[in-house]
Structure 1
Amino acid sequence: MTRSLGDADWWRSAVVYQIYPRSFADADGDGTGDLRGIIQHLPYLAELGVDALWISPWYPSPLLDGGYDVADYRDINPDFGTLDDARELIDSAHRLGIRMLIDLVPNHSSWDHPWFARAIADPAAPERGLYIFRDGRGPDGDEPPSNWPAVFGGSAWRRTTNPDGSPGQWYLHMFDVSQPDWDWSNPAVAEEFDSILRFWFDLGVDGFRIDVADSMAKDLALPDVPIDPRTGEPTVDKFVGSPIWDHTGVDGIHRRWRAVADSYADDPLGARVFVSEAYLTPSERLVRYVEPGRLHTTFNFDALLAEWTAQTQRNVIDATIAAHAAVGAPCTWVLSNHDNQRVATRYGKATTGSSFGPGGVITSDNGQPNMITNDEPTDIALGRRRARAAALLELALPGGAYIYQGDELGLPEVEDLPIEVLQDPIWERSGHTQKGRDGCRVPLPWSGTSAPYGFNSGSEQPWLPQPDDWAEYTVAAQERAPRSHLQLYRAALAERHRNPALGDGDLTWDELDNRDLLSFSRTPGFRCVINFGTESVSLESLSPGATVLLHSGDPDSGVLGADEAVWLSVG
């Protein structure tokens, strides 16, 4: 169903398209995507049928972690454009009925942020109290204040040097060394982020995606974390009671933000909203973030991490729906993003994800706890076939959904990027053992038969090289192909807008004898069936007299083939 900008509950069913601005479209020809490139392609996004855009960090940044190292929270990276460009983008999107979400990065800033620069330059500066600086352990203070590990590898602490050249205190960086953590126990930090939220809300932004929404509060007594017996190193796991992750203090931070958003309830644009990024499992733990008075929605990463089997998918769906219903929040489904291996590649591997048992509990990570590191051989034809079916599954489930740019084209992960072009800090912090996330961030192909495939019209090649065999994936090529990935997404989103059974709500499982099939119904008169097996099944035998609305394979075949999905009109 079409929802206007005045719909207060738009977020409960919204399909949101994630834009990684460096890689979407380059209007000025310098090799880097920009806001004017997004503005030029708004008609494409409107035709695709999305309800909102989520723009990954567009702030001034040294880009040592893809923009998640923010130097100024109230401006636009000059590589991407200006604040005037941002205003034009927001207003132009709104005129097309598309809402705008942007990233909020509240756990850390860039080391280029002026407050951190002053904190480093002068140990007595008041700005030092805005970050987590501590004396080291040991007789000379030359050991880190705790054994906490950084997500990107190594210690989460770095020692400073005093102006006189002597060793100084250590500062905490839970991610890259260039990303010092804010000290959220300091009221000035909370007040600063209230102001940041209001700045962008006043500019017309409809909401924020909260980066690592489970990380701001820490136990500042700095207790050590346990040693992981698998690695012999301090654990990075988000265990219950962790001093780093999912600390009880994040509750108050979330509620404070919700109060700011709710203060805009009478604004003509309607509700301002938040979506949480928090890798927490099982679902009962995650949904505390969307309890009444906290955040509105939270990414359901279990769906992203789940293997491609009927039983695991059903276990995840059941657990997700039950947990969200218990707190009155809609589910938010996600298959991909800028941090994870692309869907078409992940599903083309022998290891497609983690196994989930009843209750949505992970029973096996299949040796791949971080799917971006899965370097098994890829059957891309198989992966794209499964990705098409997964798209119909995701878009038929109750709640909202997110699409990462390029997934509507069936883009594969670029797994063979030359090491000299890698920019993800994971590459360096892991001691060159993990290539990191650059392979899912390669710029989009729009048209043509060779790089830059319409990404720009200038002489500069894109900031990450595009493969030589991407001509078939371009938007232009897929617009000419009636059964392309792009056309499937357009048709699915169009059906989702007009079909009252889709979006927020519930589902009922259709119990079948074939254990390789998942089938569920939604009211009124909608059914989705996915074949996870190897044998085709007659559509007539599944649902006599039903009308095919959409088929991820051949809609004229009369069958549901292996790794295919179908939407049916029944009753």
Structure 2
Amino acid sequence: MTLEQTVATTVGTAPWWTSAVVYQVYPRSFADSNGDGVGDLNGVTSRLDHLERLGVDVIWLSPVYASPHADNGYDISDYQAIDPAFGTLEDFDRLLAEVHARGMKLVMDLVVNHTSDEHPWFVESRSSKDSPKRDWYWWRPPREGFEAGQPGAEPTNWESFFSGPTWTLDEATGEYYLHLFDRKQPDLNWENPEVREAVHAMMRWWLDRGVDGFRMDVINLISKNPELPDGATTGTGGLGDGFPHYSTGPRIHEFLQEMHREVFEGRSGQLLNVGETLGVTWEQARLFTDPARRELDMVFQFEHVSLDHGPGGKFDPKPLDLRDLKASLGRWQTALADVGWNSLYWNNHDQPRVVSRFGDDRKYWRESATALATVLHLQRGTPFVYQGEELGMTNAPFAGVHEMRDVESLNHYAEAVAAGGDPESVLRGLRAMGRDNGRTPVQWDASPNAGFTAGEPWIEVNPNHTWLNAQAQYDDPDSVFNHYRRLIELRHSLPVIARGDFRMVLADEPYLYAYERTLDNDRLLVVANLGGTPQTATLDGAWSAADLLLTNVDEPSVVSGRIPMEPWSAHVFMK
């Protein structure tokens, strides 16, 4: 948070982003301008009218930097170059100018826990044990008593997020380098001040170019326990859980405060600084987002999107208990009420589509998409819309693993089947929870390839684009798109949504999600039936005389505080 934002909060004026809505663009799948099947910057520029029509304030642009694309651009080989697949730096500048001309802001994805193994920093680092940049990454010799390359010789037993060990042997030097993700994503050593200085310089370069802030990828992983101890064995090939030793490590707050001083201090108070923080608790989030500490404006937490993970992890999903979801989101609303700020999201490039995950993407597709949007957007926090979410895009019907592209899914399938897992059972988990669900092309119209490309798309378009598309929704007042547009208008126009207190009601109801927002003399009630059977919400009788601001079905008849709730209905009242 900048000094201006801190002062504004102190005197009671909320920062601009409390009433803003952010839209994430995953460029590879957004719009292709040149027919090569891959979305690009000029494609994004060509579709800005869609975002202006929706009413969003900020565009978060997933990585467009130079990259070999081992992890779809989250493996960066040059932070100050645009990958040719997406265009040129001139294309980026034109996009930025067009975004600003429409009164919107643009936030870059910042990936600085790791680089690509093709980044010049790492190429130099691995060239010799005596390289000046050797200590820019985490290098270690084989475990004592083992020869390099032997099973179990890795310096620690940590398991990668993408399966297998977090260490890869470099044959030339006989040492291992650390990568919490893919082997082509070596982790930077933030203990080295030269690394931090280089990152800060790069960030200033982008801000000087005119970008409006950063979304920081897995930023709470940059500080590791320098001793790199083994983790508790998980039972997967003897590998262990290193997460406690590299998540929210001993110097994380020092590093973020230094970043603020070196990069953001003295700049415009209109910047936005968001951190993706795996496994963060609400107690930690209060520290990260406390304005007085000058670290982050808000964080992405993962508690609510882990509630349907079964005993076998994310690819072993279980049905969601709505009471667990209400308890989780309600806890975060309460915890960050007086200090810090929430981000609000259902979807992003790492999550399956919410209407398929928590909704009903068949019988009640429109109703469940709009009900889920309503209960999220009117809470206290900054909403993030992921591309296609505003259309109610669904999970994809992948025929098999051959249609998938995500490194996490492909690695998991290979490992699980090799360990004796039933291929069809493994596929069911991937179809439900795989990251490719959020990466199929945006469905602009009913034409071949959904108007995304004139060529062969890099990943198959969802076949339901013939009826589920933007063009079909623009002029339909009851469409998912227009419901999102109205939710955004409400946040812009009603201070009670941006700044009001939050109180969960009907917390023990298994199908009803209801809460009140209060600011001065304004009271707002949101009540939704997140299930496929009719319900009745019994609330304070005073709500019988309230005005209905928004609904996704017919207006209900409210008598003595009893509200009949159709399946997947959502209503917003104000008095």
Question: 1:469-508, aligned counterparts within 5 Å?
Answer: 469-508=464-503
In 2 relative to 1, CA 509–461 (structure 1 residues): closer, same or farther, beyond 3 Å? same
The Cα shift of 1:515 comes to 6.5
Deviation readout 1:89-112 (Å, 9 max, x if unpaired): 122112212111111111110011
In 2 relative to 1, CA 300–407 (structure 1 residues): closer, same or farther, beyond 3 Å? same
Query: 3-state SS of the aligned residue for 1:73?
Result: strand
Partner in structure 1 of residue 574 of structure 2: 569
Residues 1:156 and 2:166 are matched in the alignment: yes
Partner in structure 2 of residue 256 of structure 1: 258
Partner in structure 1 of residue 196 of structure 2: 190
In 2 relative to 1, CA 514–340 (structure 1 residues): closer, same or farther, beyond 3 Å? closer
Counterpart Cα distance in 2 of 1:521 and 1:273? 28
Counterpart Cα distance in 2 of 1:512 and 1:120? 55
Partner in structure 2 of residue 364 of structure 1: none
Query: Match of 1:149, as an amino acid?
Result: E
Query: 3-state SS of the aligned residue for 1:401?
Result: strand
Question: 1:432-511, aligned counterparts within 5 Å?
Answer: 432=414, 433=416, 435=430, 436-449=434-447, 451-456=448-453, 458=454, 460-510=455-505
Contact 2:326–2:507 under 8 Å retained in 1? no
Partner in structure 2 of residue 535 of structure 1: 534
Counterpart Cα distance in 1 of 2:440 and 2:206? 28
Question: 1:232-243, aligned counterparts within 5 Å?
Answer: 233-236=238-241, 238=243, 242-243=244-245
Counterpart Cα distance in 2 of 1:426 and 1:301? 17
Residues 1:77 and 2:83 are matched in the alignment: yes
Query: Match of 2:363, as an amino acid?
Result: A
Counterpart Cα distance in 1 of 2:286 and 2:510? 29
Partner in structure 1 of residue 313 of structure 2: none
Query: Match of 2:162, as an amino acid?
Result: F
Query: Match of 2:386, as an amino acid?
Result: Y
In 2 relative to 1, CA 542–39 (structure 1 residues): closer, same or farther, beyond 3 Å? farther
What TM-score do you get using the length of structure 2 for normalisation? Answer: 0.85
Partner in structure 2 of residue 321 of structure 1: 333
Counterpart of 1:140 (choices 137, 147, 169) is 147
Counterpart Cα distance in 2 of 1:512 and 1:285? 25
The Cα shift of 1:141 comes to 3.5
Contact 1:262–1:271 under 8 Å retained in 2? no
Query: Match of 1:409, as an amino acid?
Result: L
Contact 2:552–2:569 under 8 Å retained in 1? yes
Deviation readout 1:417-468 (Å, 9 max, x if unpaired): 543343211134325246542222001111124x311113x2x121111132
Contact 1:275–1:298 under 8 Å retained in 2? yes
What TM-score do you get using the length of structure 1 for normalisation? Answer: 0.85
Contact 1:546–1:568 under 8 Å retained in 2? yes
Counterpart Cα distance in 2 of 1:532 and 1:222? 44
Query: Match of 1:329, as an amino acid?
Result: G
Structure 2: give runs of 5+ residues left out of the alignment. 309-319, 417-425, 559-563
Query: Match of 1:564, as an amino acid?
Result: S
- Deviating above 6 A after TM superposition, structure 1's stretches of 4 or more consecutive aligned residues are 5-8, 512-515, 538-542
Query: Match of 2:411, as an amino acid?
Result: R
Contact 1:413–1:440 under 8 Å retained in 2? yes
Partner in structure 2 of residue 272 of structure 1: 271
Counterpart Cα distance in 1 of 2:60 and 2:105? 9
In 2 relative to 1, CA 535–180 (structure 1 residues): closer, same or farther, beyond 3 Å? same
Partner in structure 2 of residue 375 of structure 1: none
Query: Match of 2:552, as an amino acid?
Result: S
Structure 1: give runs of 5+ residues left out of the alignment. 349-377
Residues 1:283 and 2:282 are matched in the alignment: yes
Greater alpha carbon shift after TM alignment, 245-254 vs 148-157: 245-254
Partner in structure 2 of residue 345 of structure 1: 356
Partner in structure 2 of residue 174 of structure 1: 180
Query: 3-state SS of the aligned residue for 1:341?
Result: coil
The Cα shift of 1:81 comes to 1.3
In 2 relative to 1, CA 79–264 (structure 1 residues): closer, same or farther, beyond 3 Å? farther
Question: 1:32-431, aligned counterparts within 5 Å?
Answer: 32-137=38-143, 138-142=145-149, 143-162=153-172, 168-228=174-234, 231=236, 233-236=238-241, 238=243, 242-265=244-267, 267=268, 270-291=269-290, 292-306=293-307, 309-326=321-338, 328-348=339-359, 380-382=362-364, 385-416=367-398, 418-431=400-413
Query: 3-state SS of the aligned residue for 2:498?
Result: coil
Contact 1:417–1:465 under 8 Å retained in 2? no
Query: Match of 1:113, as an amino acid?
Result: H
Contact 1:400–1:504 under 8 Å retained in 2? no
Counterpart Cα distance in 1 of 2:457 and 2:353? 19
Query: Match of 1:277, as an amino acid?
Result: E
Q: How many residues align?
A: 522
Contact 1:16–1:401 under 8 Å retained in 2? yes
Counterpart Cα distance in 2 of 1:156 and 1:441? 26
The Cα shift of 1:140 comes to 2.3
Q: CA RMSD in A?
A: 2.6
Q: Which has the higher helix share?
A: 2
Counterpart Cα distance in 1 of 2:140 and 2:260? 31
Q: Percent identity?
A: 32
In 2 relative to 1, CA 417–337 (structure 1 residues): closer, same or farther, beyond 3 Å? farther
Residues 1:549 and 2:549 are matched in the alignment: yes
Counterpart Cα distance in 2 of 1:555 and 1:543? 14
